[in-house]
Structure 1
Amino acid sequence: MLEPFDAKNIEVAFEHVDKTSFVDELVDSVSRLKVYSAVLKRSIARDSCMTSMYMKESLHSSRMEGTRTSLQNSLEKTTLEDDSDKDVNEVRNYSRATRYGRDYLMRTGAFTEEMLLEMHKILLSGNVHRTTDTIGCYRSEQNYIQNENSKEITFVPPEAKKVKLLMDNLISFMNNPTSNERSLVNAAVIHEQFETIHPFADGNGRVGRMLIPLFLFKEHEIEMPWLFLSEAIEKEKFRYYKMLNDVRTNGAWNEWIKFFLGIVNRQCIKYEGNIQKIEELYTSSLSKISNISTSRLLKQVFTCFFKNPIQNSHAIEKSTGLSNTSVNRMLDKLTANNIVFADERKRGNLYYFYDLIELL
């Protein structure tokens, strides 16, 4: 049996960081993040598509922990306000916890233990899969990480009695980074340190991935915490786990940071392209709608599909305040012109804006 890892305060990590090992990746990722932030700031996606993008980020991060659902299924259940599916609830909770963290930082400007514990509580609340009933507090027992295939224990985090002091140190650093490194480098080290401490009985990977965009948001590197890395991490999850563990066993900080910066760069490029395509879709769709009708109600109803590309009349009524009759009349126009498509339910149809679903 491996012994619990003897984790040090986060400042010690920077004694092993050599930026000459990843200077090219740092320059590329910093400049790409600035471009992505500028593109998003002036985009229709900034206000309209964030709910769906949060959902997609939540989906990929939750899949790494065993959740099995699809983006379409998650969006459908959200529209129907259906909480019977544990996998979908996990995805939904991830989005809720991230938004809570964002709102907390906007209100207070600082990370606190209270904030992290509440995020954890939100993540694991309700009808979800979880391995513990200890939620909203640090672990009081030893935990471990094992290979999901061989079940071999690959890492034993620090003893439970050390978690509080290590987390206090980490939170202090997140509020006042003292490393003199760029924020993206700090974010990489913070993520590794959080996953090494493994402060919770369950949900550590998801909370740790939430903290990446929240830290960059707090440091004013991005206007809002809309840096979606979990898709790329999920694609390389075994490399991701190996890189994290190599830091603990071999002190491979520079290799981990280089890997992290590469993910940031690739995802910024991808989402820049997605945002441009969403802009083009929005413009072309509004042009179609103006040729169908000059009614402002049609545009009002259609715009709801950019917030969630799967809708029903009830959800649109709640969002717009329009009457059921008006909403259904506008939905009939949209379906008749093949802009959105209805399912075959006898009552309570769901309507799908497939052109946007493909871009998310």
Structure 2
Amino acid sequence: MVEPTYLYEYPNWTHFTWDNGAILEPLTRAVALQGKLLGRMEQFGFDVRQDTEFHQLTEEIIRSSEIEGEILNAEQVRSSIARHLGINFENGVHPSHHIDGVVQMMLDVMHNFASDLTEERLFGWHAALFPTGHSGYFKIAVARYRDDADGPMQVVSQKARDTVVHYRAPDAPQVPGMMSGFLDWVNHSTNTHPLIKAAISHLWFVTIHPFDDGNGRIARAVTDMLLARADDTSLRFYSMSSQIQKEKKGYYDILEHSQKGTSDITGWLNWFLICLAHSIESAGLVIDRIARKAVFWRENALLVRDERQRKIINMLFDGFDGHLTSSKFEKIVKCSQDTAGRLLKDLAGKGILVQEGAGRSTHYVLAVKAPK
């Protein structure tokens, strides 16, 4: 089988081109949604803005790792974010050193979005992803570019008994020079639309594939940094990685197609902008839910004083998994079954919860359901 010509093998491959007419509609739509979202957030108070940032940062960190098959403990992620942002979030869970490092990486991405992207900064992010110097069972080069000591860098998958090579990265000796050009462009190029620049940065970085592992997560971090520059805010109100996770097959398909193509990246830009628009639209549903929760507490703060009840109401607004029963309440807030039943009936009596079902099927829902 003849090996394909990869994008980086073409002369002047980083002189990317695209069909402006073909991407005009998705770009215009993404820009409009971006402006609408940011304008809407300006109308909310501190509580809604902070809660939205807290939720979306959590989603971005968890889903970016999930795309690569790594499942992070969500409660540890939330606990770490809360601690670093000074948010009161008592869940009794202490984050691992690894998760705390990943959170610090993302906070650096967002809160220092206007700072130059440097090798030192990238190496710091990489070290945060792999604090033990291993990826799974395998020792890798950490906080430095790959050296291909174990052979060429390839993206592969298994199909039956065959190994399928989806991509072969540039040889290691080329990486430092390629990264120097990439960093110079990220920091100094100003003649490209900010959303287009975010899209190009993603493809450019994963095409170089500069590290032994973590390239996808760092590429998405660089993308988030440039999206923050486009938004001109350090606050994260939508999660691109959450949408990429939902559209993961399309994501990998368009990357492979683009990396085996030419410097005409119209297809990649079109996919990226549509995915970005979807992520902003999804954020609107999250904001609806958070805003409704804020209104609820402004109106009912004095009505619900028990911290156990407050915790369960917040969980219902945030999207409770399954039905809320007295046995689930008992386990979540660590109380007796009698106490769980009494606290739930109290909320129902106040018109906050509605009891549904009967017997073993008895469960409770919010009197006014929060948007999902």
Taking the aligned partners of 1:239 and 1:60, their CA distance within structure 2 comes to 16
Taking the aligned partners of 1:37 and 1:129, their CA distance within structure 2 comes to 38
User: Shift of residue 216 of structure 1?
Assistant: 2.3
Find the counterpart in structure 2 of residue 317 from structure 1: none
Structure 2 matches for 1:146-157, cutoff 5 A?
146-147=156-157, 149=159, 151-157=163-169
Taking the aligned partners of 1:121 and 1:17, their CA distance within structure 2 comes to 35
One-letter amino acid of the structure 2 residue matched with residue 56 of structure 1: E
Between the two proteins, the alignment pairs up a number of residues equal to 314
The answer (yes or no) to whether the contact 1:55–1:91 under 8 Å persists in 2 is no
One-letter amino acid of the structure 2 residue matched with residue 246 of structure 1: H
Is 1:215 the equivalent of 2:226?
A: yes
User: Shift of residue 96 of structure 1?
Assistant: 2.5
**Structure number with higher relative contact order (C-alpha < 8 Å, ≥ 6 residues apart):** 1
The answer (yes or no) to whether the contact 1:216–1:225 under 8 Å persists in 2 is no
1:30-54: per-residue Cα shift (whole Å, max 9, x none)?
1111111222344333213423322
Taking the aligned partners of 1:58 and 1:173, their CA distance within structure 2 comes to 26
From 236, 242, 249, the counterpart of 2:247: 236
Q: Which has the larger radius of gyration?
A: 2
The answer (yes or no) to whether the contact 1:29–1:265 under 8 Å persists in 2 is yes
Change (3 A) 1:27 1:10: farther
Find the counterpart in structure 2 of residue 60 from structure 1: 63
Find the counterpart in structure 2 of residue 185 from structure 1: 196
Provide TM-score, normalisation by structure 2: 0.71
Change (3 A) 1:77 1:148: farther
Taking the aligned partners of 2:192 and 2:80, their CA distance within structure 1 comes to 43
User: Shift of residue 289 of structure 1?
Assistant: 1.8
From 80, 97, 103, the counterpart of 1:95: 103
Find the counterpart in structure 2 of residue 145 from structure 1: 155
State the SS of the aligned residue for 1:154.
strand
1:254-297: per-residue Cα shift (whole Å, max 9, x none)?
0110000001111111102211221111111331222346xxx9
Is 1:114 the equivalent of 2:120?
A: yes
Find the counterpart in structure 1 of residue 40 from structure 2: 39
Change (3 A) 1:83 1:32: closer
Provide TM-score, normalisation by structure 1: 0.73
One-letter amino acid of the structure 1 residue matched with residue 220 of structure 2: R
1:223-272: per-residue Cα shift (whole Å, max 9, x none)?
53444111221122122112112122222510110000001111111102
User: Shift of residue 83 of structure 1?
Assistant: 5.3
Is 1:48 the equivalent of 2:54?
A: no
The answer (yes or no) to whether the contact 1:213–1:227 under 8 Å persists in 2 is no
User: Shift of residue 67 of structure 1?
Assistant: 1.6
Segments of structure 1 that go 5 or more residues without pairing to the other structure are 311-332, 341-353
CA RMSD between the two structures: 4.1
User: Shift of residue 15 of structure 1?
Assistant: 4.3
User: Shift of residue 159 of structure 1?
Assistant: 0.8
Segments of structure 2 that go 5 or more residues without pairing to the other structure are 82-90, 320-341, 354-365
- Percent of paired sites with the same residue: 19
User: Shift of residue 74 of structure 1?
Assistant: 5.7
From 126, 129, 139, the counterpart of 1:132: 139
1:166-199: per-residue Cα shift (whole Å, max 9, x none)?
1111111111225x33111111111000010011
User: Shift of residue 99 of structure 1?
Assistant: 0.7
The answer (yes or no) to whether the contact 2:60–2:242 under 8 Å persists in 1 is yes
Taking the aligned partners of 2:95 and 2:134, their CA distance within structure 1 comes to 9
User: Shift of residue 208 of structure 1?
Assistant: 0.6
